[in-house]
Copies of this chain bind each other. A is one copy, B any other.
Amino acid sequence: MRISELSHASGIPVASIKFYIREGMLPRGASTSATSADYGDEHLARLRLIQALSEVRALPLARVKEILDLVDHPADTAYATLGRAVNALPPYVEPTDAEHARDTIDALGLTWDPGFGAVAQLGAAIRAVQGAGLRWDAELAALYLEPIRTLAAGEIAPLADMAPADAVAHAVLGTAVYEPVILALRRLAHQQLLAERTSQPPA
């Protein structure tokens, strides 16, 4: 298809498509003449991915590029690639926040690896909970971890049946795009539980 058709199919303006090509985020189409090129479904899929990360997920352009680069050129292992993907995703915190997570990581039996971005992200999150005057201790941490581990295990399971490159792309994108799903479902579950509670007669 021509660039105008690609724009129509994706809902993304031609100027933005040309920008993504210049930035190396979208491959050039196959040249059909000096001034036009042919684009395929792979270009459409790539544009939808860029849109999912930049618009729906609201990531800054530099971070979208990092994620795309990880999908195109994964690190040697899914573990290393996931580590880099996590560092490209918000919240963007100070590495020194890792120390705030140390007691929790130890209590939960998780791996203390302050080079993995999620450790400092957890530390900053704990600092916010405590700053808001809310509870955080080993017992509560375990109450959180148990269902989250169930959820994470369900997410990781399909990777075993994928080709390594697909598994890495899935892990990177899945980390980014299922997060808002999880938060929205939690809010909906709270709403439903509160509605059920208030409609019950007092005990």
Task: List residues of chain A with CB under 8 Å of any chain B CB.
Answer: 45, 48-49, 51-53, 56-58, 77-79, 82-83, 86, 90-91, 101, 105, 110-111, 113, 116-119, 121-122, 124-129, 131-134, 136, 143-156, 159-160, 170-171, 173-195, 197-198
Can you give 25 contacting A-B residue pairs, CB < 8 Å? Answer: A45-B133, A49-B132, A52-B127, A53-B132, A56-B131, A58-B90, A79-B195, A82-B187, A83-B191, A86-B191, A110-B188, A110-B189, A118-B191, A122-B184, A125-B178, A131-B177, A132-B173, A136-B181, A144-B151, A147-B154, A148-B182, A148-B189, A149-B189, A156-B190, A156-B197
> A147-B151, A181-B126 given as contacts; is B186 within 8 A of A48 (CB)?
no
Question: Apart from A49-B131, A148-B182, A153-B193, what are 18 other A-B pairs with CB-CB below 8 Å?
Answer: A45-B133, A48-B131, A49-B133, A52-B127, A53-B128, A56-B91, A118-B188, A125-B177, A125-B178, A125-B180, A128-B177, A129-B177, A149-B189, A152-B186, A152-B190, A156-B197, A159-B197, A171-B190
Distance of A157 Cα from B123 Cα, bound (Å): 25
Q: CB < 8 Å: which of B154, B183, B198 contacts A179?
A: B183
